[in-house]
Amino acid sequence: MKKGFDYIISPISRKVFFEEYYEKKILHIKRDDESYYSDILNLDDIDDTLQKECFTQPKYQFAGKKGEYMSYDILFDKYFYNVTRNEIVEKLYKGKSLVINRIQDYNSKFLSFTRGISKELNAMLVGNLYVTPAKEQALDLHCDLHDVFALQLYGEKDWKTYNRPVKFPRTHGTLSDEDQKKHEKRFTMKAGDLLYVPRGIYHQACTQEKTSIHITIGLHGPRMYHMLEELMELAKNDDDFGAIIPHVEESLNYGEGFEAYFKQLLSKLVDKQSASQLRESIEERRLKQKSSNHPGRIHDFLNYSEINDQTKIIKRDLIKCKSWIEGGYIWVSLDGESFKYPIILKETVQFILSHDQFIVNEVAGDQTNKVKENLIKNFIRTGLLQIDLHGG
């Protein structure tokens, strides 16, 4: 079973979550299943991750008592690559909490999981791993500027949550002692549990008698003001908005008429693109900015020249793609990057985009197998397709 967003919020349905909890209130799901997240990230995966030699600060940190972060140069002389894994474990024995930021950069299984949910929710996901020894606290009281899903992987952790002074905060602030006393809620997270904390809600967590390992998944979605930024990009290419703002009395529309004139320009600009088109532009911009990380690319490179009409091809399911006809070409957008192909290849391109797997000689279209192979190779180089090493 492929694990996605529905799995981490189960038994709550997606409809109930987004209508009743999302950006509104805390959700704590208790599960009597310590291995619930084992297919997402388990202790062996974490141990394997710790063996990697590619950690760089600030992705890899220790937190002392009272949540005080210490950078690697204070802990381990000057150069991080001199640190042994024994030294890392020793810090845990001494009560320091290990924090691995962006753990998806180091673990391919968790990367695949986050990429799947990212595609489902049209948002960027960032996972941070926390290993906190008994009777310790990694972070002080704080609020996040993004929504957080906490997945308890091992042990237990006591959480305290408070109120949200600002509905959608843009900066980190502080919470008064009075607010802490008034609105405190407590949750004990056990292995397999989920805690959803909307952005802006203050919280802190500590361990008791057991070491805790949990992972937080930060959901970074576009804000409404990003739509105004898209409108601003349109305005930059609009002749009327390229005009100088009236700055002397003799200028056209300098006086009382300027406000009405400006509102008229804004109205025309807004009418140029619908809200759904603006949202799509934001998503395409996000996809272009994210790094492409699809396992199997080196295998594709090594077997690229061996492709023939019997080669089995698989489409990567975590790439967001769409196609359209424009200007005598069929255009294909892959994770926000656009490619164009002659319209004569329309049937072949649409076949490739609509099939999860196929043999090269099964591909539809009137072209020769050589033309089809070249098109498939092109899609392999972009990352959309991969060669099935276990196929024909």
- The domain that holds 128 is classified in CATH as 2.60.120.650
Most confident of 64-73, 206-215, 306-315: 206-215
> Is 392 among the domain residues?
no
pLDDT score, position 56:
47
The mean pLDDT of 235-252, rounded to a whole number, is 78
pLDDT score, position 297:
81
pLDDT score, position 167:
82
Q: Which of 269, 289, 309 is the last residue of a domain?
A: 289
- Least reliable range by pLDDT among 57-71, 347-361, 365-379: 57-71
pLDDT score, position 50:
79
- Least reliable range by pLDDT among 139-148, 193-202, 287-296, 343-352: 287-296
pLDDT score, position 72:
39
75 has pLDDT over 60: no
Same domain (yes/no): 328, 365: yes
pLDDT score, position 369:
85
* Calpha distance 383→296 (Å, rounded): 9
> Is 173 among the domain residues?
yes
pLDDT score, position 255:
67
126 has pLDDT over 70: yes
CB 152 within 8 A of CB 212: yes
278 has pLDDT over 80: yes
* Calpha distance 116→3 (Å, rounded): 9
pLDDT score, position 366:
87
CB 122 within 8 A of CB 221: yes
Buried b (16+ CB within 10 A) or exposed e, 110-133: bbbbbbbbbbeeebbbbbbbbbbb
Confidence of residue 234 (pLDDT cuts 50, 70, 90): confident
pLDDT score, position 164:
82
Same domain (yes/no): 206, 94: yes
Structure tokens at 374: 């070249």
Q: Which of 192, 220, 248 is the last residue of a domain?
A: 220
Q: Which domain holds residue 255?
A: 225-289
